[in-house]
Amino acid sequence: MHSQHFTFETGEPAAIITRVADTQWQAAVDGRVVGSGDVARRPDGRLFVSVDAWHATVFDQLAAVLRAELPRPLYTVVDEVETDLTAGWRRAGFTSGRREWEYSVPTDPAVTGLDATAPPPGVTIVAAGAAAEGPLRALDRAIRDEVEATVGWQNMPAEVLPRPDGDTVVDPSKYAVAVRSGRYVGLIRVVQATRQPRIGLIAVRAGEQRTGVARALLAHALGTLHRDRRGPAYTEVNESNTAATALFDGIGARRVGSNLELVLR
């Protein structure tokens, strides 16, 4: 554990920044904690930092320490309406990496227009909890490899569920899958968050894209939620993912917010 001393604005007491753990820093004035900074490594290997401080000077001091003590690149995610927080990270040298739209997604098929949506010929949907674990995990791994070889997994939703090393499917019961000729070709993951269901991932093998598989998976998942009287759901979509934004815009989902991923290289 080590400390660094900073001076606040004129007439204010000195702040002491202390690294209290491998992943956490604290700012204190006269023994009182006035801010904290954290770092976490995502499953994709990237380092994400956060700072919690009421005073802009404390924020800047904590951000300066994180910059100095951590390897680059560093990332952070902010709600785009939090302009003061965004400005703080920009003062620290962070620049825009990408934007994610937050959607509120209706589940009523009469609203989404998905009531008449059927899987493409030769494709069936296996409900959540009924998929075989081995093929499901193999599908998830294959999709991740395909994404990594093209746009990169960092362009998928910023929120990545924690998982044991090498395991990409935390809870198989949350996944419904699309099957063609006995082969798993697409998946959708829906989890019950604190207040409403969350569509955490919808993805299809490269050779099956633009055939209606993703739309059929979404129709199945939303229809199940509606029958269970749950909804609306929510999800996040990278603004550069034009296929996904078109899919959700086309079923009446509403954009209710956006997150910015900022990066310091």
Q: What angle do CA 49, 50, 55 make, to 5 degrees?
A: 140
Cα angle for residues 71, 79, 32 (degrees, 5° grid):
65
Does 252 fall in a domain?
yes
My answer on whether 40 and 170 are in the same domain is no
> Would you state the pLDDT for residue 154?
58
Q: Helix 83-91 to helix 56-69 angle, to the nearest 10 degrees? A: 40
Q: What pLDDT digit, counting tens, does each position of 35-48 carry?
A: 999 999 986 788 99
Per the prediction, the chain carries an average pLDDT of 89
Residue 184 has what pLDDT?
98
161 and 223 share a domain?
yes
Domain end call among 65, 99, 133: 99
Question: For the ranges 8-12, 20-24, 58-62, which has the lowest average pLDDT?
Answer: 8-12
My answer on whether 153 and 186 are in the same domain is yes
Average pLDDT of span 17-26 = 96
Same domain (yes/no): 149, 247: yes
* 133-155 tens-digit pLDDT: 999 999 998 998 888 877 666 55
| Number of C-beta neighbours around residue 155 at 10 A | 16
Cα–Cα separations (whole angstroms), residue 137 to 22, 187, 190, 198, 222 = 32, 10, 16, 20, 23
Q: In terms of domains, do 182 and 116 share one?
A: yes
Output the pLDDT for position 224.
96
According to DSSP, the β-strands at 14-21 and 24-29 are: antiparallel
Q: Using pLDDT thresholds of 50, 70 and 90, give the confidence band for residue 163.
A: low
In a domain, 263, yes or no: no
Q: Is the pLDDT of residue 17 over 60?
A: yes
**132 and 251 together in one domain:** yes
Which residue range forms the structural domain that includes residue 60?
3-99
Overall domain count for the chain: 2
| DSSP-derived pairing of the beta strands 74-79 and 197-204 | unpaired
Choose one of 99, 127, 150: the last residue of a domain. Answer: 99
Q: Are residues 129 and 145 in the same domain?
A: yes
38 found inside a domain: yes
The predicted pLDDT at position 10 comes to: 47
Residue 11: what pLDDT? Answer: 53
Instruction: Give dist(CA 144, CA 205) in Å, integer.
Output: 9
pLDDT at 160 (0 to 100): 47
Q: Do 136 and 254 reside in the same domain of the chain?
A: yes
In a domain, residue 265? The reply is no
| Shared-domain flag, residues 122 and 245 | yes
* Residue with the larger pLDDT of the pair 159 and 22: 22
pLDDT of 204 > 50? The answer is yes
Per-residue pLDDT reduced to its tens digit, 93-114:
999 999 999 999 999 999 999 9
Q: Is the pLDDT of residue 220 over 70?
A: yes
| Domain CATH number, residue 206 | 3.40.630.30
Residue after which a domain boundary falls, among 99, 130, 160: 99
More confident residue, 154 or 191: 191
Lowest mean pLDDT among 35-39, 110-114, 175-179, 193-197: 193-197
Average pLDDT (215-243) is 94
Tell whether 146 and 252 lie within a shared domain.
yes
